[in-house]
Amino acid sequence: MAGMTQYIAVDLGAESGRVMLGSISGGKLSLEEVHRFGNGPVEEGDSLRWDFGKLLVEVKAGIGKAVRSAEGTIAGIGVDSWGVDFGLIDSAGELIENPYHYRDSRTNTMVAKASEFLPKREIYENTGLQFLQFNSVYQLLAQHLSKPEVLARTKSLIFAADLFSYYLCGRAFAEYTLASTSQLMDMRSGQWSETIFEKLSLPMSIMPEVVMPGTVVGELTAEIAGEIGCERIPVIAVASHDTGAAVAAVPAGEGNWAYLSSGTWSLVGVEAAKAIINDRTFEHSFTNEGGVENTIRLLKNIMGLWLVQECKRQWEKEGAGFSYAQLSQMAQDAEAFAAHIDPDYGEFLSPGNMPEKINNYLVGTGQERIDDKAQMIRVILESLALKYRWAVERIEEITGRAIDCLHIVGGGLQNEVLCQFTADAVGKRVVAGPVEATASGNILMQAMAVGQIESLAEARQIVRDSFELKEYRPQDVSRWEQQYGRFLKG
C-alpha cells in the first residue's frame, strides 16, 4: 500500500471499541482492524459511568498501532461513538468527572419531570426526537437538579465521540449527527433549541459550536503526536454518531429503500430531505436525527440485540456459556411463535437478568414462562422482526412512500436467522451488508473531507463495489402475517 492515502477510524461501541486502518483505491474501500478493546459501564458509587481515561489510553494505543501499520500517507483520523452521553469540561480544559452511562438510573423520572416545565408535544415540536429517558436533555436535567455545583464548574459540554477528538486535537465542538441525538437541538434549524434550554433552565452557554460531518476540526496536538510517535495528523469530524456513519455506508442506489442499523440497538429509518415533525411522528414516537449531506435520518429506535446480549451475559453468570453463533442456531431449531414480547418494554432497558425480565413480561401478558434457552432467543428474534415490520409500516404511512427494499448494516447482520426472520416479517427484499458499516462510513466521510470522494452517491457506489452483500427473500409470508396480527394486539 506504499504511496496510498490512508485513514484511521476510531469506532467506539457500547460493548467494544476498535481502531481501523482504511484506504480507498480503484473505487474500492479496504479496512484493517489494528486494535480492539473491551468497553462497558463501570460502577462508581451508585452510578454507571464510562471509564474515559482507560478508553482514551486504548484509543491512543490503537492510533499508534495504525500509524506503525500504515505504508502511505495518513490523511485523517475520525472518531465515532454511540449517542446521547457527554463529558463536562471545566475552565482549565479538563474533564470534571467520568461521563455517565446512558443506562444509569438517574434519568428514570426525567421525562415526566421535563414535561412539568414544557408539555411533551411542545418538546417534540422544538426537537423532533423520540422520547427516550436517556436522551442528553434528560441527563442534563438530572445533572441540573441533583448536581448543580458540577454544572456551575462546566465551561463546555462535549458529546462522547467528540470528547475523544477534543483530547486528540484540543478543539471543543459538537458534530451535527451526534449532537442531533441529544433532544437539545432544533432539528429544523440544526442549532441548539433556545426554547428547550430556557424552559428547562439549562445553561445553553456550555454548548459548543455545531460543525457538519466532513469538517477538518484540527490536528493532533504536539503532545499527543509526540506520545504516539507520528506527525500531527488532521482530526476530522466524520458522522460522529455511529448510526450516522453506518447510514452513510448503506449500499443503496435508486428506489425507495429503508435501512436497519442492527447491533446492540436496532434503528429502522429512511433518509429525508428535512425534519418531519407532526402529529403522526409524535404519536408513533419517531425521531429526526441529522445525517450527512444535509439529510435527516427519520427513524425508530428499537431495543435490538441488547436483549440477546443480556441473556447471554446472565447465562454465563449461571455457568452456561454460548457463543452468539450457537445461540442463533439454537433459536433456528426451536419452536416457532411460542410467544412474543414488545422489545421496547421499559423494564428491558436496564442491565440485569434479562431472562427473568422477559418471563415477567410473558406472565404479565398472559403467556407461559420460557425456561428453554433456545426458545427464549427465538422469541426475542421473532419479536424484533415483527417490531421492524411495524416500524417500516409507520415509515410508509408517514412519508406516503412504499418501501421496496430494506438494507441491513452493522454487526447484527451476522445473525442470519434474524435477517431471514426480518425478510419474512416485513415481506420485502432484504439486502444485508456491510458488517463494518460504521467504520466504512467513518473512512468515507474522511475521504469526502479531503476531496478524495466528491459525493455520498459516490461513497455508496464504493461500498457496493467493495463488500459482498447477501439478499434475503420473504418466505412463509402468510404465517408471519398471522403472527403480526397477534403481535399488534399485545
Q: Set out the domains of the chain in order of their start, with CATH numbers.
A: 5-241 (3.30.420.40), 250-433+454-490 (3.30.420.40)
How many Å apart are CA 168 and CA 179, to the nearest integer? 19
pLDDT value for 3: 56
What DSSP element (H or E) covers 142? helix 136-146
DSSP designation for 414:
G
Q: Are 234 and 224 in contact (CB under 8 A)?
A: no
pLDDT value for 71: 85
pLDDT value for 1: 42
pLDDT value for 2: 47
The full length of the chain comes to 490
Amino acid present at 151: L
Distance of CA 468 to the CA centre of its chain: 23
How many Å apart are CA 376 and CA 354, to the nearest integer? 10
- Could you tell me the CA-to-CA distances from 109 to 69, 93, 131, 134 in Å, in that order? 48, 31, 12, 10
Which residues are designated catalytic? 242
Q: What is the dihedral of CA 292, 76, 16, 102, to 10 degrees?
A: -50
Q: Report pTM.
A: 0.95
- Sign of the C-alpha dihedral computed for residues 175, 181, 183 and 188 taken in this order: positive
For residue 47, which of 97, 1, 2, 8 has the smallest C-alpha distance? 97
Neighbours of 187 (CB within 10 A): 22
Burial class (CB in 10 A: 0-12, 13-18, 19+), 371: exposed
What DSSP element (H or E) covers 18? strand 16-25
How many Å apart are CA 46 and CA 384, to the nearest integer? 32
How many Å apart are CA 308 and CA 385, to the nearest integer? 14
Low-confidence ranges of the chain (pLDDT < 50): 1-2
Gap between the terminal Cα atoms of the chain: 55
